[in-house]
Chains A and B, each alone.
Chain A
Amino acid sequence: MLLGWGPAGPEGGQAGLRVAITGLGVVSNAGIGLDAFWEGLCGPAPEPGPARPVTGFDPSMWFGPKDVRHIDRSAQLAVAAAEMALADAGPIEVDPERAGVIMGTGVGGLATLEVQVGVLLSRGAGRVSPFLVPMMIANRGAAAISMRLGWRGPCETTVTACAAGTQAIGNAARLVASGRCQVAIGGGAEAAITPIGMAGFTNMTALSVSGISRPFDRDRDGFVMGEGAGILVLEEWGHAVARGARIYAELAGAASTADAHHITAPSPGGIGAAACMELALADAGIAASAVGHINAHGTSTPLNDIAEAEAIAKVFGSPGPPVTSIKGITGHSLGAAGAIEALAAVLSIVRRSIPPTAGFVTPDPRIALDIVAGAPRACTPGPVISNSFGFGGHNGSLVVAPS
């Protein structure tokens, strides 16, 4: 991962400190915890429906009764995943001034806002909860994590719609690569399966009419709403080695670009996405031909999947490396998606297996990719690139490499 670019671009840029991934935590509709999550990714697709909420999440495992009432579900998911990731990372002694938290989210506390707008309309302004603002702010998850841990380094939130989780991890990794932080939490959280959230996505015709998530399939007709949280513990390599930490993989590269084209539609030919992937590879210092597989954004919308396929073909050739999208199982968890998918990319390196693209049955003649489908595919560990693209034209890519 680079810290500075040369005059002509990333080539000749200054290399940063290596970033180790030492802890993983996930609260997903595919499963809560790493084993359940992986089994869920490799299992059958859920029944069709417009949304796939996380089931079995008990906030009282993480919060006292007052915080259960006063912390929105989106931040609750974030804190739970962070606690799980830190437990997974093992005991970390870190200077709290050099420990940071960078989270991504699309909207923050939407459920809280929606309920309180109802209170405003039905009972008047005087009955709106004094906790509305601290519950709805998009940075609440990151703030809650830093307060819980006593970490006093940078604590920020990246709000770039569906690219947020990926870009947050990239931003967190850069803090470690620069030496500013010895340890940083990077991740994303989202809980927007609410009546207003569903209505908004439905009426913009982004959601699947059939209720089936089938990334890259010819018959794909939109995404299915998901929710959840994913967290990576990122640690300066020497710091991780010195404490004898288990290193899952290296966060080797990250990039962020903008389409500057349209608020919801990707740029023609996926040129913004292609530029992002190329920069992420340059950031990691690896050639496109070295990539083992691609964990695609693959939302199951007609426009995203064709643009992403064109971008992949541009960067990697056709058919290029194997491509998977876990959204066939998880649906689209918006600002959490990139974080959950980065976590899947790490696990696929560790487990030497690529989870299949659930729902993919009929190839789209316009998409000439090697889609992993039907069953997990065994692989030799190699660098994985994980993509996310968000409304607003935000593109994020991460490169995760075997340690």
Chain B
Amino acid sequence: MDETAAFEKFKECAVEVLQVRPDQVTREARFAEDLDADSLDLVELVMALEESFDVTVDETELEGVETIEQAFNLISAKL
């Protein structure tokens, strides 16, 4: 899967779980400030991403993840 396709798939998960518009899910978007997502939302998003990409993310890996870019990199590094 190339990166563009992977990001589109990532975006679909974010739109579904965070109930935001697709155009809000930019790489720079911050979870708290831009997407109104708190830590529980982030956990739910990661669960959806784990299912969608068939990867496993440890809870400790989420520390410091504040933007879409950081979350996407975390997933894409495992592909």
Contacts and interface: CB of A to CB of B under 8 A. Distances in A.
Given A126-B47, A127-B47, A69 B19 contact: yes
Contacts of A127: 47, 51
Contacts of A66: 18-19, 36, 41
B44 interface: yes
Contacts of B50: 126
A130 B40 contact: yes
Interface residues of B, number: 10
A129 interface: yes
B19 A64 contact: yes
B43 A130 contact: yes
Contact of B44 (A64, A65, A126, A129): A129
Contacts, number: 20
Contacts of A130: 40, 43-44, 47
A131 interface: yes
Nearest to A133: B40
B15 to A, nearest CB: 11
A129 B50 CA distance: 13
Contacts of B43: 130
B44 A131 contact: yes
Nearest to A66: B19
A69 B44 CA distance: 12
Interface of A: 64-66, 69, 126-127, 129-131, 134
Interface of B: 18-19, 36, 40-41, 43-44, 47, 50-51
- The 5 A-B residue pairs whose C-beta atoms are closest, nearest first, are A65-B19, A130-B43, A66-B19, A130-B40, A130-B44
6 contacts: A65-B19, A66-B18, A127-B51, A129-B47, A130-B40, A131-B44
